[in-house]
Amino acid sequence: MENGSLDRWLHRRRRKIGPPLGWPTRLSIAMDVTRGLSYMHHGFTRPVIHRDVKCSNILLDREFRAKIADFGLARILARAGESEPTSSVCGTFGYIAPEYVSRAKVSEKVDVYSFGVVLLELATGGGGGGGA
User: Is there a catalytic annotation at residue 52?
Assistant: yes
75 within 8 A of 99, measured Cβ to Cβ: no
Q: How far apart are CA 99 and CA 91, in angstroms?
A: 13
Q: Tell me which of 32, 52, 61, 111 is the catalytic residue.
A: 52
3-state DSSP percent of the chain in helix, strand and coil, to 5? 40, 10, 50
Closest-CA residue to 121 (of 41, 12, 47): 12
Closest-CA residue to 97 (of 56, 34, 57, 49): 49
Across the chain, which distance is largest between two alpha carbons, in Å? Answer: 45
The alpha helices in 1-132, defined as continuous H runs, are 6-10, 23-42, 98-103, 108-124
Catalytic site positions? 52
